Amino acid sequence: MQSTLIASVLAASLALVANAQATDPAAIARQALDRLDAGEYAQVEQSFGAQMAAAVPADKLKAVWESLPAQVGKATGRGAAEASAQGDATLVRVPLHYEKAELMATFAIDGAGKITGFVVQPAQSAAPAPTVAADAPHIERDLPVGYGERALPGTLAMPKGDGPFPAVVLVHGSGAHDRDETIGPNKPFLDIARGLAAQGIAVLRYEKRSKARPQDFTSGPFGVDEETTFDGVLAVDALRKTAGIDPKRVFVLGHSQGGMMAPRIAAMSGHVAGLVLLAAPARSLLDIVIEQNRRLAVLDDGKTSDAERDAIAALVEQVRIARDPATDPATRSVLGLPVSYWRTIDSVDAVAEAQSVALPMLVLQGARDIQVVDADWGRWRSAFHADKRVAFKLYDKLNHLGIAGEGDGNLAEYNTPGHVDASLIDDVANWIKAH
């Protein structure tokens, strides 16, 4: 799930076509945002190509865009647009300021001035990962995942010494995440990677494909395997081929949606020694997304406003459309993503797939998690409570990111600087060393 509530709720990928009069990518992005803010959804639709006009009509644009204030408060402005080359496309990022959160709108614009991708997600911290100290017990180096121009940038945290070392692949939650799984000022994958490497375990973290190469999803159908599974398998393969790594002790740690997909990665790879599932959904993401929105609506004041109620009703209808066998798979529904994508998500039964691979597992859950909740934890426990290969740990004070806090969980925590709890990292390290 795109590993935060906002990410899973707001990762709306909408394919648009730019105004033919605009040639500057930043201007194209600003114009699209201006039209959305003005409620000119029909005008935006009129600028679509035929395929996109059919897939993303004005009513779906309206449902996605107008759901944002119900979840993150009123819009308070925008930051400056920043453009960068990305293969044959130009990526334009525009900060979006809301009362309760900082979001980032990212556009992919082709050479003809057409917007081929558009995603809104939590803004990531601009601060780069701190460098590894010279006296640290590990080093970091580049290790790409995949081959050729489609390869994803990755970082290997490698313990110092001769090895061979056990190793872990980190698999992101839902959303277009960087290799650190940056959420606001927090970098949970950076914390986990360096914490494990300091204890003699190599860790590979990499840019998620939707982050590094959004253009890979702009033509033809795609599903959760193209988004997550295939790259996880490639990451396992990259580690197994790396000098100093024990190829028989490569593990997968999946967070949120990454935990849901970890059993499938293991099955497809055939070379995974065990799984660590951190805040992993055990039910359909379509059902969970509805739950999340209902939970989010009452977090602040215990009430659901009319606007929030309308947004939830629209989401419920989008889920119904996505699950209707009569719906064209190309139709964009929940969060602006194609029905074909959601059908691949809906077909995943993480618990059944974990039972099928029959690997050692460590299942971890924060009791203050507002995204993956007791119902999921309970299903994992019920399915594997008698399996001696599976261990469980529930942390009273941890949220969805594995960061400690007090009181009930809330959305604002994601914008509060923190670090993954050291005891959780220690538990993962000890479990891996025992396997």
What's phi and psi for 154, nearest 5 deg?
A: -140, 165
Residue 401 to residue 371: CA distance in whole angstroms: 10
Is 47 annotated in the active site? no
> Catalytic residue among 138, 177, 255, 400, which?
400
Measured distance CA(134)–CA(136) in Å, rounded: 6
Q: Return the amino acid letter for 74.
A: K
Catalytic residue among 256, 284, 333, 340: 256
Query: Does the annotation mark 356 as catalytic?
Result: no
**Two structure tokens written together for 53:** 């006009």
Tell me if residue 300 is catalytic.
Answer: no
Separation between Cα atoms, residue 9 and residue 2, nearest integer Å = 8
Which residue carries 């000022």 as its tokens?
A: 185
Q: Spot the catalytic one: 110, 191, 369, 421.
A: 369
Burial category of 147 from C-beta neighbours within 10 Å (exposed 0-12, middle 13-18, buried 19 and up): exposed
Best CA proximity match to 218, nearest among 392, 55, 61, 22? 55
Instruction: State the alpha helices, DSSP H only, in 162-299.
Output: 188-197, 209-212, 224, 230-240, 257-269, 285-297
Do residues 214 and 226 lie in contact, with contact meaning Cβ atoms separated by under 8 Å? no
Distance, CA of 149 to CA of 15 (rounded, Å): 23
- Token pair in block for residue 107: 């556009």
Q: Which residues are catalytic?
A: 256, 369, 400
